[in-house]
Chain A
Amino acid sequence: ETGVTQTPRHLVMGMTNKKSLKCEQHLGHNAMYWYKQSAKKPLELMFVYSLEERVENNSVPSRFSPECPNSSHLFLHLHTLQPEDSALYLCASSQDGHGGNTGELFFGEGSRLTVL
């Protein structure tokens, strides 16, 4: 138990569907992240939110739309995805920018997405 909870754990969707991934952190952190991990590839940083403001979007296609309503919740809205978007989507949180912290990332278990 890392303090970061992701739902659903598994999701199968068609290319025309709209779905959302949810992440919740119970650690009091002020930064949250979405990473994508495809088979045999390194983790790719998709989005970063710090203090609920998006600070980084690493050229992610617009069919992925993040939402951070507060410091504890992060969503990834999915629409008109492609089969190559099938991957493990990982949410993480950290305490950003304060002295005395390691900046350690705490990851959820991930949401395994399959696009048909």
Chain B
Amino acid sequence: LAKTTQPISMDSYEGQEVNITCSHNNIATNDYITWYQQFPSQGPRFIIQGYKTKVTNEVASLFIPADRKSSTLSLPRVSLSDTAVYYCLVGEAPSSASKIIFGSGTRLSIRP
């Protein structure tokens, strides 16, 4: 399994763009990059997934450079409700059931 490294915490303000970077130097050819969001006392929620270049949906964008050794989750114009823990996961997709392992995540705090 490819190990991921992401900042423990980040702070930002409402209306700003937030970029959270994840390092995954040992990513394998078949691995996808997936991001989840977790609010307190709730289960994580899928945000976005990508393999290379750029993926965008209604919630976020995911930027993946050509070497795929890192990825950046971009949250445009954050609000207070974006305060949560964000997890970067690397693994095969469709993922084998036994390979979905969560790291420590990045605790994002948004201030007024």
Q: How far is the CA of A90 from the CA of B98 in the complex (A)?
A: 16
Q: Which of A14-22, A59-67, A77-85, A91-99 contacts B (4 or more CB under 8 A)?
A: A91-99
Q: Tell me the A residues contacting B by CB distance below 8 Å.
A: 2, 4, 31, 33, 35, 42-43, 45, 48-50, 55-56, 88, 90-92, 94-110, 112
Among residues of A, the one whose C-beta sits closest to the C-beta of B42 is A109
Identify B97's interface contact among A31, A99, A109, CB under 8 A: A31
Q: Interface size (B, Cβ < 8 Å)?
A: 24
B-side contacts of A112, CB under 8 Å:
41
B20 to chain A: closest CB distance in Å?
A: 16
Question: Quick check: B44 and A102 within 8 Å, CB to CB?
Answer: no
Question: Quick check: A42 and B94 within 8 Å, CB to CB?
Answer: no
Question: Quick check: B104 and A98 within 8 Å, CB to CB?
Answer: no
